[in-house]
Structures are given as C-alpha cells and as structure tokens.
Structure 1
Amino acid sequence: MSSAVGSKKKEKKEGEGKDEVVSLRVVRTLGQQLLSSRSHINNLPRLLAFVKPTSSPDYALESILSLHSFFTPLLPQLPPPASSDKKKPPPPRDADAASEFIYLTWLRSNFDLFVSRLFSIAISSQSDPTLREVALDTIMELVKVGNGSYFHSSLYHRLLRVIVHSTLGVTDLLLKLLVSNYFKYIDVCYFTYISLEKMTRTLESEDKADNKSATSEVDIGNKSRASMELSIRKICHLLTNIQQLNGSNETSDYEMWSSAGIGAFARRPNKKNQYEITKSEDKTQIFGMHDEKDVTATDVKKRMKLKFSKAWLSFLTLTLPVDVYKQVLATLHVAVIPHLSNPVMLSDFLTRSYDIGGVISVMALSSLFILMTQHGLEYPNFYEKLYALLEPSIFMVRYRAKFFQLLDSCLKSPLLPAYLAASFCKKLSRLALSVPPSGALIIIALVHNLLRRHASINFLVHQEEIVETAKESSEAKESGVDGTENSCAGKKQGVDLFNGEEGDPIKTNAMRSSLWEIDTLRNHYCPPISRFVLSLENDLTARAKTTEVAVKDFSSGSYATIFGEEMRRRVKQVPLAFYKSTPSVLFSELDFPGWSFVSNDGEPVSIDSDLATSTEPIHSFLKRQRVE
C-alpha cells in the first residue's frame, strides 16, 4: 500500500515537471471520457474548474468545447433552473425515477455554473480575446438550442444584463463581436429590443430612487451615477447599432439565428395541443398565428416596429448624459423617427429638448420640424423659440449647417405674417454686424430668400421715411396729436425703433425699421461679402427673374473655405496698395478726432513732418486703395 502511494506521488512530481502539452492532453482526455460514458460523470466538475478567467486559455478552451458538446443534447431533459418561476414537478416516488431526477437536477446546477463561468470569461478584461470570443459564441449557441429549438430569450436577457451592468466600455471587444456577428439576425434584434426595454425601466426606477434618497456618502453616489451613465452609454450603443428591416415583402430575406426560423414569431404548442404564451413574451408579441406559414413579412415588420418603439421610448425617459443626449438628438430624425410606430410619441421629449436652449435646441430642431411638417404636431410657440436661438454663438456650433438649412425651411411658408418675417429678417441683419465672414454670407442668403418670398417686407430694403423717436412717439400719443399730421416736426434721423433685446417677434417693431445693417456690408473687408450683398439690389419681387439662394452652399463655410474660394477665383484686375510717400505712423490724429496719442513715456506723439506739411489729408496716405 505504501509503495503504491509513493509511486503515485512520484508520478505527480514528474507530471508537474513535464511540458504543458501533457497536462493539456489530460484535460482533453477528461472531456473525451465525459462524452463517451456516464460512468465518467465525475469529470464534469473537474472540467468546470478550468472554466474561469484566471485559467490558461488552452485549458479553458478545451474545457468549454467539451462541456458545450456534453450539455447540448441534454438541455431538453434538464429541469427548469431554481430561479425560474415555472412550476417544478414533484420528485417521483419510484426509486429509479427519483435517482434520475436527482441526477438531472445536479446536471442543471452544473449547467447554471457553466453558464455563469462563461459570463465571467466574456466580460473579464483579463481573459484572452480569443477565449472571450469563444465564450460569447458558446453562450449564443446555447441561446439557439436551449429552449427546444426556439430562441432562449431568458438566457439572452441574462447575457445583455451582464454586459450592460459590467465595467466594460462601449468600445470593448465583446460589444463589437455581439454587434458584428449577431445583430444581423432578426430574432436576435427582436429580443434585444425586449431586453433593453426591461433594463431601461429598471434603470429608470433606480435613477428615481437615487434622486429621492439623498445620501451623505458623496463618493458612493458619484460611483453609482458613473456606473449608471456607463450602462446608459452601452444601451445607447446597442440600440443604435441594430439594423433595421428592409422594405422587402419576402420572409426568406430575414435571417434567423434560432433553428425554428420564422416560426419563432408564432405561437408554440404545448403538450395538450393548445397554444400558450411563455413568460418571456407578453401578449403584444403574439400575432395569433398557429403556424409558421401564417407569419408574413408584414407581421414581422409590424412586431419589430412595435418593440423598436417601446425600447426607444423607454430609453428616452432616462436621465441621459450630455454627450449621449447630443448623440441621440443628432441621429433621431434619421435613425429613429422613420421606424417608430407613432412618431408623435416623441413630441414631449423633443419639446422639452427644444425648450432647453442653446445647442440642445438646435439639435432638437430637425426632429421637431419633421413632426410638425409630416405628422401634424402643433407647437404654438415654435417661432418664438426659433427666434430666441438667433444669437452670435449659433454661428460657431458644430451643427450650424443643418440649423440654417432648417431655419430657411421653417421660414419658407408664404402664410407667415409679415411682422414675423420682418422680425427674423431684421434680427439676422443685426447679427451680421458681429458674426464672422462665413456667418455674414449665410445671413445675406437668408435675407435674400426672405425678401423674395415675402413681398410685403421689401420696403425694409430702402425705407425712406424718417422714423420718429420712441420718446416723441409716446408724447404724441399722450397729447392726442396725430403723428401723420405733424410728421416733419416730430421726427429725427438716426433712430432705429427695432428692439433687438425683445424675445417676442410681435413686439420688436421690425416693421418700422430698415435693413441698414445689410447696407454696411457693402464696405466689408471680405470681398465675397461685399460682392454677394449686391444681389439684394435686384428687384426681388419679380419672382420670374430671380431665384432663391441655396443656403446649404454657405451654411458650412469658414475662413478656410472663403480663402480657398478666393484663391481659386480668377480676377482681371488685381488690387494694389501703395503710398506716395513712406508713412511714419500707423494711425493719424485726423482718423480719430477728439483723441490724443501719447507714447509709453506719457509724451504726445508728433505727426510726421512730411505728412503734416502735405496738402492732402493724412488718411489718404495711410489708407490702402483697392482697385475693383
């Protein structure tokens, strides 16, 4: 006996010193024995011991392949898991049946442990990337066949929940593999919508609970908020990467992951030959079809659209981070609204976003405009909010090109009242005094289109009537004197009654003003602006002789684009700058009457004697003349 024990210890020590290939061969042998006979069932826990993130990738890979091959044919025989709400059958009274029941229950617990280990490997950053991919593929294979050839939605929901609530980043390998390899299957996308809707509702309740219960542990609160924001980013990433159905009417175009094919969308019969609904599917998922042949492509698209709508509407109720908020608003009108069952359901979200102001309002304008023009949404204060967005900062934001195109579209209707068109025209003209050259080009294009569409405000171009001051106007009203009778006595030049600080377009007095700001652009230092503003001298009321300007051609301009266009432009005459005599000062006192120039020592600066004795004004020598 002692000699046998000694020989075993000796063999163990020799095995530890041998190459790893020998040990890997032993692991492979354990798997082969497990698959060959039930007598080697004790190899199951030994193989499970290698399925963990800290194991060698070769050990774990061999164990995963063997255990997957072992459990796949046994899944239909296994009892429901302990966490399942399904009614569990009582243990049989017969001794053989009772032992078989205990054996299958033990297999179920080991299978659940195997799945948990696969989840740990898949989400662990310490695991080998190839091993993580194998773990994900194994889980999806179990999802494929683990529910009697139907899609195992509960197992797939566990996978998504583990991914969303893990510390994995949005750019992690696991999410890339899931999106690229499995989001092309229609049933995977369908149950992804269902799972993400459930998780967003859970996050919403947690978010409300965190807001109500204020805790003194600031670090814990920040950590929970950071983890929730990470989960929101991953949910947004999954939602935005699901491919939408095409417009085909044939079911053969829909590639399914589960072996049941399109029948996964139909009712499934139970043992009593009746059609029941599983817990993972609510009544809205069922068409009432009894056969795979009854399910058409239109039915599938209808159900997909319903789940898509529920998932997105549930996601938009969350408190989104600012970067996610902007990302969603930037793509909402293209990727979400066309696929919703009822796009008007987004009206509350979009109106709240539009009321925030700033960049958020600019980004929400695209989707809100679609709801108003295509889906009958009424928003009474729309133009007041749009008018409030016209600020100098709007010409610097990233999404200005789309905003100005939408602004031009919103002001396109000929049914707009004259005061509204005049207010927008005047506000844009006032902004032309403070925006960069690229912004001035956009303003000229917008003003050009407004004047051409609304003939009733063309008098703003050259209003010869001298306007009276606000003070004298109020005095005239109080005294009861008619302003038209004493127009010459109570009016002064140089007073603009337009109120640029007023937020209500009705009260801006734009109809009593003129576009003198546009006239100042004639002498703009940027040649394209001074040339483009000359287009407003044409009679824009003659619609047959004029055309509207495409705002999109100017909306994405910058200093670089303007400079590039000028460099490519061929000119016949080149402007020259020269001086009859070399100047000694940059600015002269005659250019700034009433100002005095002193040096750093506090002494007055004398004007150059040559310039002082010249008979011509000093500014004529200092200003550069441009030849057109």
Structure 2
Amino acid sequence: MEDSDPTCAVAQIKNKTQQCFESRKNANCLLDIIAYSETNNKVVLLACIRSFHKLFPRYLSSGELFLDIPNDLKEKDLTKEEKYKVWLKERYNDVVGKLIQLVHHENLNVRELSLCTLMKFLSEEAQLPAAKHTQPRTHFPLTLFRRIVHALTSESIDLTSLIGRFQEYLSHDDVRYHFMKILHKQVTSKAQKSASDTVLTNIVTLLEQISFPSNETGELDQMMTKYPDSENTEKVRSLDEHRKLFTNVWIDFLQLKLPNSVYKKVLTILHEKVMPHLTNPLYLSDFLTASYDVGGAISLLALNSLFILVHKHNLDYPDFYEKLYALFEPSVLHVKYRARFFYLADLFLSSTHLPAAMVAAFAKRLARISLRAPASSLTITVPFIYNLINRHPNCKVLIHRETPVELQEDPYNSEEQNPVKSKAIESSLWELKTLQSHFHPDVAKKAQRIDQPLSKEEIQLGDILETSYNDLYVKETRKKVKYAPTNFNPPNGIMGLPSDKLNLCWTLD
C-alpha cells in the first residue's frame, strides 16, 4: 500500500496496532498493517516493523498461535477459536516472510530492525514448551532460525554492516550451537559448487562473530530455550561439542576457493579469534604453510598464526627461515601490514641459537633494501639491523670491515635463496655508511649509531613500528630553531643565479 503522506501512514499504523491490542474483533487491522509494509518508503516500513515487533510476541506468549488441531480435520469442522488461530498463524508466516525480505533492504535501519524483530520472534518461540510451539514436537525454533541464517548468507548482497548486530544473540549457547550446525551445512553445500565472493564474505563475517565464554568446567548454561530438548541438552551444554562444531566449520570453510579479500581477512583473524577455540590448532598446518608459500601480503599475514603453531604447538617447518628471508624485499616496506611483519620477524630472529651466517644474511638483506626505502621505513629498519648485530656478537664483523670500493667487490650474493649460502657473513654493512648521509636527520643519526660501541640494551621497536611520514613531519615541525636555513645567494627572478644552467638555454625578456 503506497501512501503519499508518510506521516499519515505512520499514524494509521500506530492506530491500527492499538486496535489489535484492544480486541480480537479488530484483528483485520493486521491485514492493513501488512499491506502498508509493501511500500518503499523507509519511514512507513520502520513503523510497520515496529508494529510487528509489538504484536506478534504478544500473540506468541499468550498462546494465540498455538494450534492443536488434527491434520485430518476439515476447515468446516473448526470452531471459531480454531479458525482464528489458523488465520493468525498464516498472518504470522506472511510477516516472517516479509521480514526475511527486508533483511536485504537497501536501508541499514530497516535491515537492523527486521533482524531484531525476527530474533525477538525466535526468542518468544524458544520460551514456549514443545506442546505449545508453532512447530509441534520441536524445542528450539529451528525452522525460523534456519531462514534467518540463510538470509544472512546472501549470495548477492553484502551484509557485513548488519552481521555485527547478530553477535549479541550468539551469547546464548543454544543459539550458537544451532547456528554453527546450520552454517556448517551451508559451507559444505558451497563446496559442491562455486560460491560467490559476496556469500563467502558474509560467511566469514558470521564466523568472526562466534566467541566462547571462559568456562573452566566446560558446561554451558546461557540458554535462550526455556524448555530444552532432553535428547540434545547434553551436546548443547558441552563446550567440547561447541568446539568440535566450530573446528569443523572452519576447516571446511578454509577448503573453499576464497577470493583475495576474504583470504586476507581470514589470515588477519585466525591467530586471535579462531585458533584458541579449535580442538587442535595443528589442523591449520596445511592451510597456513600453503599461505606462507604464496608470497606477498598473504605470506605476511600467515606469519602470525604460523608462529603460534611453531612456538606453542611444536610444528616442524624446516624451510621456515628460508621463506622468511624471501619476504625481505622492497615491497614489504610499503604494505599496511609492515608493523606486524617486523614485530614477528624480530621474534623469529631473537633466538641466540641461530647461526651467525643466517642472522648476517637477514641484516645484510634488510640493509640492501633500505637503500630504496622511504624515510618512515628507515626509522624501523636501521634499529632492527642494530638489534640483530647487538643480539648476535659474531655478526659484529659486518660493521668492522672496510667498505668496498666497487659494488662488485661485495661478496654478498643477493640472488641466493638460502640465507646461509649468501656469503653475507663475509661482507660488510656499507649500506648503513651510505645512510649516514641521508637527507632526513633522524635516519642519518640512527645510521651513525653503528659507529659507536654497541650497548647491552636493545632498541625497543614497539614505539617505532607504526612510524609514518606524518609522524616524521610533526616531529620536525615541533623543533625550535633560532635561524631558519635560507639560500646562500639571494635569488633574482626565476633564473637569477649565475650558476643556473638554464641561462644557457633560455632568455626571458
């Protein structure tokens, strides 16, 4: 029903909602409200959804939607009360169908209110005993919940902004349990066919919302269902069962062909939001080692989770340092994950049991790519190299050797993939000598520190990992100088200096 005056339509909806509350005789007003929900006007739509949010929870809690009618009973044999309940249940199904559609509405407020209303219906149904349920012989309203989850995993509409609102409902243990079961079936079905990037984005966003309570006993008791199913109560209340489901969903999801954006998002959240809740984090070994072999930003993001497997779960990865060495290339200084990479690389290279030849190779490789690095990156790389030398005394030979006159005299082989065979330990850090003449005073000062006796304390990288050009600019502008630098010879016009070579080519009249 379209209405040219939204204010009038909203007033009508409120009036008809009140009439439905007052008497069953006004039940037909519900048809008018449903008709109003066919509009495209978001103000009217929101008013309709609020009306549904008020009316149907009352019908559910009062038992007016409860049907205890034999299947073989004909409509003409129904009493007035039974006919009313049949009619009301049909309207309830109409409203649920409409709200499922509105979850995909273009307006975020309409989406959110529709989802909240559907979950309110779910909550009210979950409070009913099985005998009074809208779906007989069920305890948790799975039929309705399955439709909600399917709506949130749309194939064509990105619902990332809406799914964040869904997290609050997953605090109920029974909701989380059934949600993971439904989602697992969807993920396994996607494996049989090519899934769209949109649905994979929606699924990973939903998976990201799952969290578990810190419960040492392993028994869960935060239920939405008032009358739990005795057959499934043990599984729903078991934290181990939840983790098994969680593990199965994630392992099957990671076997899908993920688009680059989803791939990066998965690697970003894996170490913090997924691994702590898996039954065995080593199940991710194949996925993470394959990701580490991809190169570029994917490898950088896989480092965090891979470090946890190596450090805490004894994953044996013999080529780990060769792959890490390969990541030290100029592009790593420009990616937005730079701070995380250097933080993890510092952890990996902190062991004093590493061969000096390997540590020297990392220091030399980083020094070489620093020659083409932006100033904001050099404030990280130079202290990083300093710490490597300070941490491994056998590498001090790199700063005591004389600088080669020609680049060809440097024995270091930058093309060698194996850091131990790169002959870096036979070379010198002449690159840092070059950086001592850098235009930025902070970089030059940090590079000059290598000429001084090494202190016992390492440079704390935590404060400088996020350094940007803006930080360098702000730092410079806060310096107080007595005399500002100016030209030695005062300029006289565009080409006013005697040494200006443009005078030889142009004449300005």
* TM tier relative to shorter chain: 0.7 to 0.9
Confirm or deny that 1:426 pairs with 2:360: no
CA distance in 1 between counterparts of 2:96 and 2:12 reads 27
Question: Of 154, 173, 177, which aligns to 1:165?
Answer: 154
Q: 1:187 to 1:103 in 2, by over 3 A?
A: same
Q: How many residues align?
A: 478
User: Quick check: 2:288–2:302 contact (8 Å CA) kept in 1?
Assistant: yes
Tell whether the 8 Å contact from 1:50 to 1:60 is kept in structure 2 after alignment. no
Structure 1 residues 302 and 25: alpha-carbon distance in aligned structure 2, compared to 1, 3 A threshold: same
> Residue 101 of structure 2 aligns with which residue?
120
Matched, 1:327 2:311: no
User: Given the alignment of the two structures, is residue 397 of structure 1 paired with residue 343 of structure 2, yes or no?
Assistant: no
Runs (5+) with no aligned partner, structure 1? 1-18, 80-88, 208-224, 269-275, 278-284, 288-294, 468-491, 588-596, 604-628
| 1:152 is the counterpart of 2:133 | no
The answer on whether the counterparts of 2:403 and 2:430 sit within 8 Å (CA) in structure 1 is no
Q: Secondary structure at the match of 1:51?
A: helix
For residues 499 and 122 of structure 1, do their structure 2 counterparts lie closer, same or farther at Cα, with a shift above 3 Å needed? closer
Q: TM-score, normalised by structure 2?
A: 0.78
Equivalent position of 1:513 in the other structure: 427
Do the aligned partners of residues 421 and 151 (structure 1) sit closer, same or farther apart at CA in structure 2, a change above 3 Å counting? Answer: same
Residue aligning to 1:222:
none
Picking from 4, 26, 34, the partner of 1:51 is 34
- Cα distance between partner residues in 2 of 1:26 and 1:521: 78
Structure 1 Cα separation of the partners of residues 23 and 107 of structure 2? 30
Comparing 550-559 and 61-70, the one that deviates more: 61-70
Q: Secondary structure at the match of 1:206?
A: coil
Pair 1:575–1:325, CA change in 2 (3 A): same
Q: 1:196 aligns with which of 183, 187, 190?
A: 183
Structure 2 vs 1, CA of residues 143 and 502 (structure 1 numbering), >3 Å: closer, same or farther?
A: farther
Q: Deviations over 1:18-59 (max 9, x none)?
A: x9878986786677664x8xxx9xx68x84675364066567
- State the alpha-carbon separation in 2 of the partners of residues 23 and 461 from structure 1: 81
Q: 1:115/1:436 Cα in 2 relative to 1: closer, same or farther (>3 Å)? A: closer
Structure 1 Cα separation of the partners of residues 16 and 441 of structure 2? 82
Question: CA-to-partner distance for each residue in 1:188-223, whole Å, 9 max, x for gaps?
Answer: 23322222222222222222xxxxxxxxxxxxxxxx
Residue 378 of structure 2 aligns to which amino acid in structure 1? A
1:136 to 93, 97, 118: 118
Matches within 5 A, 1:170-181: 170-171=159-160, 175=163, 177-180=165-168
Alpha-carbon shift at residue 549 of structure 1 (Å): 1.3
Query: Could you tell me how far 1:335 is from its partner in structure 2?
Result: 1.9
Distance 1:60 1:566, change over 3 A: closer
Q: Could you tell me how far apart the structure 2 residues matched to 1:237 and 1:326 are? A: 12
Which residue of structure 2 lines up, in the alignment, with residue 346 of structure 1? 284
Q: Which digits, 9 at most, give the CA deviation of each residue in 1:326-378, with x for residues without a partner?
A: 22222222222222221111122212221111111111111111111111112
Tell me by how many angstroms 1:531 deviates: 1.7
Task: Tell me the secondary structure at the aligned position of residue 371 of structure 2.
Answer: coil
Paired residues of 1:78 and 1:107 also in contact (CA < 8 A): no
Per the alignment, in what secondary structure is the counterpart of residue 246 of structure 2? helix
Larger Rg: 1
Does the 8 A contact of 1:78 with 1:105 survive in 2?
A: no
Q: Distance in 2 between matches of 1:78 and 1:317?
A: 46
What is the distance in 2 between the residues matched to 1:302 and 1:426? Answer: 48
Q: Which residue of 2 aligns with 1:615?
A: none
- Which residue number in structure 1 is paired with residue 136 of structure 2? none
The answer (yes or no) to whether the contact 1:157–1:195 under 8 Å persists in 2 is yes
Residue aligning to 1:450: 388
Matches within 5 A, 1:583-598: 584-586=498-500
Aligned partners of 1:47 and 1:63 also within 8 Å = no
| Alpha-carbon displacement from aligned partner over 1:169-194 (angstroms, at most 9, x marks no partner) | 3255x5454335x2333332332222
**Shift in alpha-carbon separation, 1:232–1:466, aligned structure 2, 3 A:** closer
Other-structure match for 1:435: 373
Q: Deviations over 1:579-620 (max 9, x none)?
A: 489952257xxxxxxxxx99547x9xxxxxxxxxxxxxxxxx
* Distance 1:96-1:537 versus aligned 2 partners, 3 A rule: same
* TM-aligned CA distance change 1:179 to 1:166, over 3 Å: farther
Q: 1:575: how far off? A: 8.9
- Residue 536 (structure 1) aligns with: 450
Offset of 1:118 from its aligned partner? Answer: 3.9
CA deviation after TM superposition for structure 1 residue 555, in Å: 2.2
Matched letter for residue 38 of structure 2: T
TM-score (norm 1): 0.65
- In structure 2, what is the Cα distance between the partners aligned to 1:574 and 1:495? 44
Check whether the contact 1:245–1:301 (CA below 8 A) recurs between aligned residues: no
Mapped to 1, the partners of 2:303 and 2:411 lie a distance apart of 30
Alignment of 1:14-29 (within 5 A): none
Matched, 1:257 2:238: no
2:144 counterpart letter in structure 1 = L
Residues 486-565 of structure 1 mapped to structure 2, 5 A cutoff: 495-540=409-454, 545-565=455-475
The Cα shift of 1:124 comes to 4.1
Give the deviation of 1:411 after TM superposition.
0.8
Q: Tell me the C-alpha RMSD between the 2 structures.
A: 4.3
Per the TM alignment, residue 321 of structure 1 is displaced from its structure 2 partner at its CA by 2.7
Contact in 2 for aligned 1:123/1:166 (Cα 8 Å): no
Distance 1:54 1:24 in 2: 16
Contact 1:145–1:152 at 8 Å: present in 2 too?
Answer: no
Match in the other structure for 2:494: none
Q: Say if 1:166 and 1:499 are closer, same or farther in 2 by CA, change over 3 A.
A: closer
The question of whether the paired residues in 2 share the 8 Å contact of 1:144 and 1:259 is answered with yes
Give the whole-Å Cα distance in 1 for the aligned partners of 2:364 and 2:424: 6
Code of the aligned partner of 1:165: S
- The one-letter code matched in structure 2 to 1:239 is L
